[in-house]
Amino acid sequence: MAWQGKILRVDLTNLSAKEEPLNMAWAEDYIGQRGLGTKYLMEEIDPKIDPLSPDNKLIFATGPMTGTGASTGGRWSVITKGALTGAIACSNSGGHFGGELKTAGWDMIIFEGRAPKPVYLYIQNDKVEILDADGFIWGHTVWETEDMVCNRHHDPEIKLASIGVAGEQGVKYACVVNDRDRAAGRSGVGTVMGSKNLKTVAVRGTKGVSVDDPKKFLAVSAAASAKLNATADAKRRSAVGTMAMMDVTNSWGCLPTRNCQDVQFEGAHNINVAAMLRIRKSDGKSNLKTNKGCFACTIACGRVSVIDPTHFSIRDKGDKYKGAEGGLEYEGGFALGPFCGVDDIEAATYAQALCNEHSMDPISFGATLGAAMELFEIGAITTENTGGMALNFGSAEALCWAAEVTGTQQGFGKELGLGSKLLCEKYGHPELSMSVKGQEFAGYDPRAMQGMGLLYATSNRGACHLRGAAWTEDFTDVSTIGRAPAVKTAQDGMAMYDSTGLCMFARGGIGNDGLLDQLNAGLPGTWDAERLTITGERIWNLERQFNLAAGLTSADDTLPKRMLEEPAKTGAAAGKVNMLGDMLPDYYELRGWTKDGVPTPETLSRLSLS
Amino acid sequence: MKLDISIVSMVGGATGASGIHDMPDGTTANGVIAILDLPTEETYALMVNDMPVAVPDRDSYVLNDGDKVTIFPPIQGG
């Protein structure tokens, strides 16, 4: 029935693990993955706790479609209280780990407590072992960890979700990396994993996943993939990947550049899709080598790149970094490029590789470095602070150095590991952090995308473009018209979709019909469009309840002063700021929240959240 | 009249349509999309001289000689 019907609860403090039945009543109300994981977290922890205390829990959750063979059904999520934000955190990843976990017989893993010494979890179907990581993989990179664990257990098919040194040593935006370059990237979920002394989760599954109506499921999942493959959107993502966005945001004037001092980047042509495809003089090859897909994906938007072997960043490092590895996606690309004023695509690809191997969110790392560069240029940070490195915008050398010292937590890297909010507060300029609820912006300046500003401000996990953007409206005009309902609808829709196990990039292609066909063939019972919609809204409000209980208020639903008071210099929004104040009251009202952003009793009752 | 047209972040032949185009006087914003024969399954974002032209305005928006027209698909980030 798509679910395995059981979860694994791991008590790290006592180094024990036990099996529990999946709460199917909750699965009916919250679908799975993001929604269901959040329900478990809300029921099991006090939202006020320190996210890095043993009282926090870390949940690895699949959706009902994960591992089934549903079109793009390879997604899984990490749910916890975020180390970067102190808010609800749910980070979604692809690759093959989620499908492997489900195939091993587990819908979810809940980690509790803190291991007395570094450990890793090794799962072979029903066999679960908590093994010593100290003196073995602790202190090693994600990539080394993957190789070492597969070698020790003589199984190259093991799938791992790991942290590198950044996660071990408390970089606030550490992520959980699986399959070398896929990541549950945002909000510091890897930092929480490190605080629990948990290095990696290694899984090998051979049990398979059954569905409610196998014959029908095969037909509807094949039909969904065929429908998806025929769309221009899927073809474009396969051919050019998410980096296609670089030219779009630069054209529109919403490309965050030099810590959002600018909205268009004069060097974009050196760090866009065309630059990835350009043949290099040095070796006659291009940066982009090929593309790749996740489990059950027919889009294959992932980029695989080879860094120029003569580039200063890697030429003296032997064979390391000279092979094909995960390349630049747009969100890493904008942060490691324009946000820092850097137009060296090889340097950005190298920095991306370091983010992967050390388990750092490239968005938050790049955006923190961009903030540090502005602090440096106004004199708040000096070479005395950095140990000699000049952090000028545009310096590819500074970018590569910063990724190295932050990933390994050396010297000034400890400062950069704080994230932009704490860094800017520490150096006396909190207004220079381009973040909401402590989490750095994604690759869209909200002055030229008014709805994106409303989304950043109200996103439950802090600034994020994946929580429900009004893409169509925001690329139609620079106004607030229709943004509040569009953002609300998109947020509820994404909360629902992130709970299914499918990839958001399939959503437009297969549509609600394709999703419903697969859910209904895979699961007992009946899902319909109305139920999906109300479930998404329920999940969004549950996350909001978590944040309110954690102590966040409507005062946290805001944007940096720069977005509200400093007009964009160029582009579609030249002369304009984000008009959040015009949108937020309408948004609260549409949500059925008070003017202080609190769900009313009537809203909670309607959503069965009372 | 001559229009400086940029087709951004599209694949296949459409991207190759970027460049200086001779088009009849009176061509509208939507007319450019039709003349270039861009696939009609998507709704594009369109800018003239770096300013957005909303969908409802495109049939009546008449272009001028030398205008810069930027067109891109409804791509979403991820």
SS3 per-residue string spanning B1-55? CEEEEEECCCCHHHHHHCEEEECCCCCEHHHHHHHCCCCCCCCCEEEECCEECCH
Fold observed for domain B2-72 = Ubiquitin-like (UB roll) (3.10.20)
Dist CA A427 CA A440 (whole Å): 17
- Going from N- to C-terminal start, the domains of chain B cover 2-72
Task: Put the strands of the sheet holding A16-21 in their side by side order.
Answer: A16-21, A6-11, A108-112, A58-62, A76-81, A88-93
Question: What per-residue confidence (pLDDT) applies to B9?
Answer: 75
At A412-448, the pLDDT tens digits run: 999 999 999 999 999 999 999 999 999 999 999 999 9
Residue B15's pLDDT band, with cuts at 50, 70 and 90, is low
Query: In A117-257, which ranges are E strands?
Result: 119-124, 127-132, 159-162, 176-178, 182-184, 198-204
Give me the residues of chain A with pLDDT under 50, please: none
**Three-class secondary structure of residue A120 per DSSP:** strand
Indicate the average pLDDT of chain A.
97
Residue B77's pLDDT band, with cuts at 50, 70 and 90, is confident
Dist CA A486 CA A489 (whole Å): 5
Question: Using the beta-carbon criterion (under 8 Å), do B47 and A572 form an inter-chain contact?
Answer: yes
User: Which residue is closest to A239 within chain B, CA to CA?
Assistant: B11
Chain A nearest-CA distance from B16, in A, is 13
Count of CB pairs separated by less than 8 Å, A with B: 85
Question: What per-residue confidence (pLDDT) applies to A12?
Answer: 98
Q: Are A42 and A33 in contact (CB under 8 A)?
A: no
Q: What are phi and psi of A22, to 5 degrees?
A: -65, 135
Question: What per-residue confidence (pLDDT) applies to A573?
Answer: 96
Predicted structure pTM score: 0.97
Asked if residue B38 has pLDDT above 90, the reply is: no
Question: What per-residue confidence (pLDDT) applies to B14?
Answer: 61
User: Which residue is closest to A573 within chain B, CA to CA?
Assistant: B51
Question: Using the beta-carbon criterion (under 8 Å), do B42 and A244 form an inter-chain contact?
Answer: no
Amino acid found at A81: K
Note whether A273 contacts B: Cβ–Cβ < 8 A: yes
Q: Are A329 and A300 in contact (CB under 8 A)?
A: no
Mutation target among A238, A252, A465 for the B interface, most CBs of B within 10 A? A252
Note whether B66 contacts A: Cβ–Cβ < 8 A: no
Q: Are A108 and A8 in contact (CB under 8 A)?
A: yes
Output Rg (C-alpha) for chain B, integer angstroms.
12
Of B10, B70, B77, Cβ closest to residue A444: B77
Residues 12 to 51 of B: which have CB under 8 A from any A CB?
A: 12, 39, 41-43, 45, 47, 50-51
Question: Using the beta-carbon criterion (under 8 Å), do B11 and A571 form an inter-chain contact?
Answer: no
Q: What does the block give as tokens for A392?
A: 């000028």
Chain A nearest-CA distance from B70, in A, is 8
Dist CA A260 CA A440 (whole Å): 11
A362 exposure class (CB count in 10 Å sphere: 0-12, 13-18, 19+): buried
ipTM, 2 decimals?
A: 0.86
Question: Using the beta-carbon criterion (under 8 Å), do A477 and B54 form an inter-chain contact?
Answer: yes
Residue B78's pLDDT band, with cuts at 50, 70 and 90, is low
Question: Using the beta-carbon criterion (under 8 Å), do A236 and B10 form an inter-chain contact?
Answer: yes
Residues of B in contact with A477 (CB under 8 A): 52, 54
- Which run of H or of E encompasses A439? strand A439-440
Residues of B in contact with A269 (CB under 8 A): none
Dist CA A240 CA A238 (whole Å): 6
Question: In order of start, what are the domains of chain A with their CATH numbers?
Answer: 6-204 (3.60.9.10), 257-433 (1.10.569.10), 446-606 (1.10.599.10)
Note whether A469 contacts B: Cβ–Cβ < 8 A: yes
8-state DSSP, A484: H
Which residue, A321, A389, A391, A331, is CA-closest to A360?
A331
Question: What per-residue confidence (pLDDT) applies to B40?
Answer: 76
Question: Using the beta-carbon criterion (under 8 Å), do A252 and B43 form an inter-chain contact?
Answer: no
Of B54, B72, B74, Cβ closest to residue A251: B72
